[in-house]
Structure 1
């Protein structure tokens, strides 16, 4: 059975995939409480006269809250890519995945995928710590394809979770 997705590889698509990838990192769920805790520690260090330690906490706050800004900066360069706004035909089958665009064609066996995450609006297939394929439900050929892709990923990828 061939499961098909068709989407435009645009900045919005890449940003959504990046943010979904970031949501699966455990500390991101606690970024606001952690930032508040770091801010409290920053205030105590500044008040007590420990400027170096205060600087460490300030950098920690900046790193906790800057991921979406960093993603947007990286996307600025994406506009110069030959893949920018390319129409991608992405299919899943028992043998793996196949993505085809105007300038590229990529095949991955299921062994290449390290984890899969099901979100309310799509499926994220990861092959490495920062490499992923975002498959939004809106890009599926039909509603049955969404359930079939979910079932196939669950059967073929060991680390599968619904978030």
Structure 2
């Protein structure tokens, strides 16, 4: 994501890191080269095509906007996954299914929470980029999450934080 867009969202961004990452994605020098490191200095194996936790996969031929959205949603997904590793956000996941504004079939609370968590960030991105958002669906998802039985106290705190981030009325 360009530094200008991050400034528009009111968040600080390590410009050098993002510019280096985007340069790498566009076929320029690698991130380690941009930082003046050799692969061994950064602890990066020299073999090509390595996969592992934290690896970045971007579709070939993706434009800058699609790449920005892929990075944004991937980061949000990873942050929520980190939260679920240190706190129980829900119990009895999958016992009940809930309607989702983004899917045709009902989903477990874990999927609804992931979808809402990503959608809040994507909505902020779209509003900053072109002024268009998806407030109706996000509001419906947050309302549904408020009413589910499976959320723990920590899960309800995450939904409250999402509402605050989204700027919801509740």
Is the pair's TM-score, using the shorter chain for normalization, greater than 0.5? no
Structure with higher RCO (Cα < 8 A, 6+ apart): 1
Give the number of the structure whose residues are more often helix, by fraction. Answer: 2
TM-score with structure 2 setting the length? 0.27
Q: Which has the larger radius of gyration?
A: 1
TM-score with structure 1 setting the length? 0.28
